[in-house]
Structure 1
Amino acid sequence: MGNALIALAVATVGVLGTLLAPVLSQRLLARAQAEQFERQQRTAEDQWIRERRVAEHDRRRDSYVAANAAYRRFRIQLMNHLWLVHQGEAGPADRQELEAARQGHHAAFSEAQMTASDAVVAELDALTSALATLYARTMRLAEGNPVPGGSFQEIHDALQDLWERGLALRGTMRADLGVGAGADLGAAGMPAAEVRGAEVRGAEVRGAALPLSGAERGEAGGGTGGV
């Protein structure tokens, strides 16, 4: 009797095992597939995040390059126009070139402000305000109705000071992009201090005033605007 019960129990377990094996296998397979799907999802999401960060970095860098080039062009065109006003030689063509540089500066800075860090936006806003003030003073001087602080020499000196502020802007941009520390290079790969010296050398002195230097004219025509 006891052996019969044992045999019955063994048979029952065997039948149950046979019936439950496919169910258990399917559940284990489903769990494995779910875990694999989750891993794939995490991998795809991580890859998407990395690609988005790279794309955002590239867009930010492109906007910084454009803003840097536009700032340099506007500043140099304004210096050109100021000198021509001082010499009594400013004409419609010169004003048109200045306006083109001004509009390009506004467009590039506006685009950069949409992607820039807070530190870069602060620099952009400060330079935009400074250039707008000097532009307005130059126009008043051209009309023969200068405002206080709007003489040729005062505007010229302020534009020269913006050179250093432009270098500060570029340094902030480079830091925001994660560019390594090193010598800050200006046009043609020269250290910034040497480029600035080259701008001054050879300039004709009119009292205490300097016209736009040859190096600045060359930068306006061939500068890359790199960050």
Structure 2
Amino acid sequence: MSAVITLVVAVFGVMGTLLAPLLAQRAQAQVSKDDFERQQLAAQTQWDREQRQANLAQRRACYVATNAAYRRYRVEIMKFLWCSHQGGVTEQDRDVLEQARQAHHAAFAEAQMVASRAVLEQLDVVTQALSEAYRKTQCLHEGNPDPNGSFDEIRDYLKWLWERWEEMRSVMRVDLGIESSVDD
């Protein structure tokens, strides 16, 4: 009996000695696998964070450029309207307005690729209003004004447009995660 016990103990000892490297290797493989998965998760999390920051920076730059282009276009329409009202539109006035209009179109095209749906909705409203103001101003200048296209009515329309502008800017700020302030 003690020989059997000795033999069983010896067999288990030899098996333990033979299996120990295999079990250690398997445990090490599991640890390596878990470590690799943690590293992959950390790398994916970092990549996601960098992508969100890059997207935010891209949207911010686009919104700044869009806001500037829209503002310039509105100002140039107002200047052209005033010059037309005073009877002194020059070729340079026409060129400056056209440049502002083209810059506006380029900024809007970029925003269509980058902006959120909420911002695009606001940009559409302001773009349509700017286009209408441009059209009315050109009709007035050419001596063929709309029924509601007098100098004062167009000027009032451009003032109304400023209110839409403030709303557009507020939606942009919210989209960028900037709380809209009372001063906006």
Q: TM-score, normalised by structure 2?
A: 0.96
Secondary structure of 1:43's aligned partner: helix
- How does 1:157-172 map onto structure 2 within 5 Å? 157-172=156-171
Cα 1:136–1:119 shift into 2, 3 Å: same
- Cα distance between partner residues in 2 of 1:63 and 1:96: 25
- How does 1:208-219 map onto structure 2 within 5 Å? none
Counterpart residue number, 1:92? 91
Secondary structure of 2:147's aligned partner: coil
* Structure 2 alignment gaps of length 5 or more: none
- Cα distance between partner residues in 2 of 1:165 and 1:64: 15
* Structure 1 alignment gaps of length 5 or more: 186-227
| Alignment deviations for residues 81-110 of structure 1 (CA, whole Å, 9 cap, x no partner) | 001111110011100000001111111122
Tell whether the 8 Å contact from 2:170 to 2:180 is kept in structure 1 after alignment. no
- Cα distance between partner residues in 2 of 1:138 and 1:184: 31
Q: Which has the higher contact order (CA 8 A, sep 6+)?
A: 1
1:33 Cα shift? 0.2
After superposing the two structures, state which structure 1 stretch, 123-132 or 2-11, moved more: 2-11
Counterpart residue number, 2:33? 34
Q: TM-score, normalised by structure 1?
A: 0.78
- Cα distance between partner residues in 2 of 1:139 and 1:76: 15
Counterpart residue number, 1:18? 17
| Alignment deviations for residues 28-66 of structure 1 (CA, whole Å, 9 cap, x no partner) | 000000000000000000000011001101111111111
Matched, 1:109 2:115: no
Cα 1:126–1:181 shift into 2, 3 Å: closer
1:181 Cα shift? 4.0
After superposing the two structures, state which structure 1 stretch, 143-152 or 25-34, moved more: 143-152
Percent identity (aligned) = 53
Tell whether the 8 Å contact from 2:69 to 2:100 is kept in structure 1 after alignment. yes
Secondary structure of 1:125's aligned partner: helix
Greater share of residues in helix: 2
1:9 Cα shift? 1.0
Amino acid corresponding to residue 12 of structure 1 in structure 2: V
| Alignment deviations for residues 128-171 of structure 1 (CA, whole Å, 9 cap, x no partner) | 00111111111111111112222211111101111111111111
- Cα distance between partner residues in 1 of 2:7 and 2:119: 83
* Pairwise CA RMSD: 1.1
Counterpart residue number, 1:154? 153
Amino acid corresponding to residue 68 of structure 1 in structure 2: N
Matched, 1:61 2:60: yes
- How does 1:109-148 map onto structure 2 within 5 Å? 109-148=108-147
1:184 Cα shift? 2.4
Count of residue pairs brought into register by the alignment? 184
